[in-house]
Amino acid sequence: MKIGVFVCHCGSNIEGTVDTAAVAAAAREFPGVAFATDTMYTCSEPGQEEIVNAIKEHQLDGVVVASCTPRMHEQTFRRTVERAGLNRYLFEMANIREHVSWIGKDREANTNKATELVRMAASKLLHNRPLLSKQFDINKRVLIIGGGVAGIQAALDCAEGGLEVILVEKTTTIGGKMAKLDKTFPTVDCSCCILGPRMVDVAQHPNITLYAYSEIEEVSGYVGNFEVKVKKKATYVDWDKCTGCGICMTKCPSKKATDFFNEGIGKTTAINIPFPQAIPKKAKIDANFCMKLQKGKCGICAKVCPSGCIDFTQQDEFVTEKVGAIVAATGFDLFDWTVYGEYGGGRYPDVITSLQYERMLSASGPTGGHIKRPSDGKEPKNVVFIQCVGSRDKSVGRPYCTGFCCMYTAKQAILTKDHLPEAQTYVFYMDIRATGKNYDEFTRRAMEEYNAKYIRGRVSMIYPKGDSLLVRGADTLMGTQVEVDADLVVLAVGADSSAGAAGLAEKLRISYDSYGFYMEGHPKLKPVETNTAGVYLAGCCQGPKDIPSSVAQGSAAASKVLGLFSKDKLASDPQVSVVDIKRCIGCGKCIKTCPFGAIKEIDFRGMKKAEVIETVCQGCGICTSTCPQGAAQLQHFTDNQILSEVNALCQF
């Protein structure tokens, strides 16, 4: 083999701490290396041209690029060598940026390490073989998990693009957090008025199948051909018949059920439709509060329902859907703020969350849009907002900024004044982060037009004082202690990953960070992709963000899916396992260990043998390390290839 080695300066990113010319010089002595040079920016157009020209000029049949991580540019350079007529797998990369130049400043040690990484890559390359991919059919249907504003946007865009969409929502209605909001910053337009019509579009779109009150049970398969088992949880109401008339709710005698939609402000009936604009507008029985399901007595709803849809024996149901791509849009949940003992830890009824306050402000909420103290139903005069509760606070393990709380607090201060012109609002803040279009102007309006008193500092304690609360904190700008009498305290609680996010990630085989937010393919260049082909992200499941950004990601994910489906066939990754039939003894161990059922037993002239189903194999190589005969070999990561890397390091 004639190998060409290209050592990248990456401007000064690599050259700054690695002598790339010395690496190239050393590489010329390695077995198989016929040409080696250092280049300024290998990934640039002239850089890639240099590779193409060198391949032609020196009749190279293998290329090593020593530059950044292969997770960044392996695809780029594979295409480059392909343009010069080489098979794309006759290429290797040495990661001398992320793993060398960026993690140490010792030029001598770095140069030596970079040289060794190039030697490893070149010795592996000597064992590389050309690999060819196969074409396979794709199922042009998409599954969207989570019906918040991000999922709705992705569903509508995909459906408009002509795709069949399956939308799975965990609760009984789509809409997510946005459906609970009263107004939205920075325009103060009514949340349900802008979201409602889009929710109706979802219900009416001929291409969208909605499974509400459902969850993902199991995911198998791979890009283009996923198989997903959906659990439709029992609602005890036949949704095919339910018209959403709501008569059952007016007659249900169990009126103490938890009102999840209203964030526990007020109670609701055991049989319940969460809000008037719910999609689908269908009733569900909360089994924990239903007297019939708990004690066998009652059954009034069944008697009054004009469509006869109550079914107390209903069970969870499972459906299987075949799709080619998946978008996760499972949003966020509020941080459990009760860990803050200084805010009462949940003991004071008049300390509420921002989302509870939204429900209180909403005309369709439990108080009909009147601001009332939960303790005595009185209108508050002094309303205190505390920002960064469970955000930017290492002591509770949440060092990140939620990003939208500054803005919705300003919104809530404005709305408070709209509802109660006599009220005075106070906002305790750390910094104001208002970086969006028209955002800073909006927070200014809260201060200047709506007279919100912004106090820069943390609250150290909330005490009960008579029938109100005393909020004590610091004013770090004035350098003083402040005490404010509060009738109502609203906590701007930060965003956590949604409940069950990690479990879903494991089913989808995508990664998540230590807080449970899903990892994008690349922090800058692949914001809605994941490292699992065919699985995309949208909205707050990737990290907290406001509505405009969530919607943008919903559309971005949809465009990725439409792009993927614009082809009729996908090319399979040829880095799959192959069983050498001569060595295989038919023990069947690989068949048992393969997590994807990608190996089947075949009969070869009366002998039992194993055979890999190329399109099902995911290329993990578990079979290769299982096979006692070395018969199953993962292409591009064979025993010989890996051991040649070991040898390149150890035998010198």
Ligand X SMILES: Cc1cc2nc3c(=O)[nH]c(=O)nc-3n(C[C@H](O)[C@H](O)[C@H](O)COP(=O)(O)OP(=O)(O)OC[C@H]3O[C@@H](n4cnc5c(N)ncnc54)[C@H](O)[C@@H]3O)c2cc1C
Binding site for other proteins (CB under 8 A): 69-71, 95, 97-100, 102-106, 108-110, 112-113, 115-117, 119-120, 502, 505-506, 509, 511-514, 519, 531-532, 575, 593, 595-596, 618-622, 624-626, 634, 637, 639, 642-643, 645-647, 649-652
The listed partner (ligand SF4, other proteins, ligand X, none) that binds 585, CB under 5 to 8 Å by sort, is ligand SF4
Residue 545, token pair as written in the block:
């963000």
The listed partner (other proteins, ligand SF4, ligand X, none) that binds 184, CB under 5 to 8 Å by sort, is ligand X
Question: Rounded to the nearest whole angstrom, what is the least distance from the CB of residue 21 to ligand SF4 in the complex?
Answer: 40
77 versus 442: smaller Cβ distance to ligand X: 442
The listed partner (other proteins, ligand X, ligand SF4, none) that binds 642, CB under 5 to 8 Å by sort, is other proteins
- Block residue for tokens 């689908």: 280
Residue 530, token pair as written in the block:
């994941």
Residues 16-75 that bind ligand X (CB under 6 A): none
57 versus 218: smaller Cβ distance to other proteins: 218
Size of the site for ligand SF4 (CB under 6 A): 29
For the range 600-609, what are the long-range contacts, defined as Cβ-Cβ under 8 Å and sequence gap of 24 or more?
Answer: 609/579, 609/581, 609/584
Question: Rounded to the nearest whole angstrom, what is the least distance from the CB of residue 499 to ligand SF4 in the complex?
Answer: 31
Window 596-625: contact mask with ligand SF4 (x via CB under 6 A): x-xx----------x-x----xxxxxxx--
91 versus 340: smaller Cβ distance to ligand X: 340
Applying CB under 6 A, the span of 16-24, 176-184, 270-278, 626-634 interacting with ligand X comes to 176-184
Is residue 632 involved in binding ligand SF4 (CB under 6 A)? Answer: yes
DSSP 353-418: EHHHHHHHHSTTSTTTT----TTT-PPPSEEEEEEEESSSBGGGTB-S--SSHHHHHHHHHHHHHH
Task: Provide the strand spans (E) within 41-192.
Answer: 62-67, 91-95, 135-137, 141-145, 164-168, 183-184, 189-190
From 157, 248, 159, select the one nearest 551 (Cα to Cα): 157
Residues 495-514 that bind ligand X (CB under 6 A): 498, 500, 504
274 versus 621: smaller Cβ distance to other proteins: 621
User: What one-character DSSP code corresponds to residue 555?
Assistant: H
From 613, 616, 642, select the one nearest 630 (Cα to Cα): 642
Residues 309-338 that bind ligand X (CB under 6 A): 329-332
Secondary structure (3-state) at 116? helix
From 598, 611, 634, 632, select the one nearest 222 (Cα to Cα): 598
473 versus 521: smaller Cβ distance to other proteins: 521
248 versus 355: smaller Cβ distance to ligand X: 355
Question: Rounded to the nearest whole angstrom, what is the least distance from the CB of residue 220 to ligand SF4 in the complex?
Answer: 12
| d(C-alpha 295, C-alpha 297), whole Å | 5
DSSP 210-269: EE-SEEEEEEEEETTEEEEEEEE---SB-TTT-----HHHHH-S---EE-TTTTTSSEE-
The listed partner (ligand SF4, other proteins, ligand X, none) that binds 94, CB under 5 to 8 Å by sort, is none
Q: Is 585 left (phi over 0), alpha (psi -120 to 50) or beta?
A: alpha
Residues 521-540 that bind ligand X (CB under 6 A): 539-540
The listed partner (ligand SF4, ligand X, other proteins, none) that binds 632, CB under 5 to 8 Å by sort, is ligand SF4
76 versus 626: smaller Cβ distance to ligand SF4: 626
Secondary structure (3-state) at 434? coil
Is residue 589 involved in binding ligand SF4 (CB under 6 A)? Answer: yes
Question: Rounded to the nearest whole angstrom, what is the least distance from the CB of residue 214 to ligand X in the complex?
Answer: 7
Is residue 223 involved in binding ligand SF4 (CB under 6 A)? Answer: no
Contacts for 481 with CB less than 8 Å, ≥ 6 apart: 472, 473, 474, 475
Does an H or E element contain 150, and which? helix 149-160
Is residue 403 involved in binding ligand X (CB under 6 A)? Answer: no
| d(C-alpha 575, C-alpha 535), whole Å | 20
Is residue 176 involved in binding ligand X (CB under 6 A)? Answer: yes
Residue 36, token pair as written in the block:
């080696």
| d(C-alpha 572, C-alpha 537), whole Å | 23
Is residue 546 involved in binding ligand X (CB under 6 A)? Answer: yes
CB 644 within 8 A of CB 124: yes
Binding site for ligand SF4 (CB under 6 A): 576-577, 579, 584-590, 594, 596, 598-599, 610, 612, 617-623, 626-627, 629, 631-632, 634
Residues near ligand X (CB under 6 A) are 145-151, 168-171, 176-178, 181, 184-185, 215, 329-332, 354-355, 358, 404, 408, 411, 498, 500, 504, 539-540, 545-548, 550
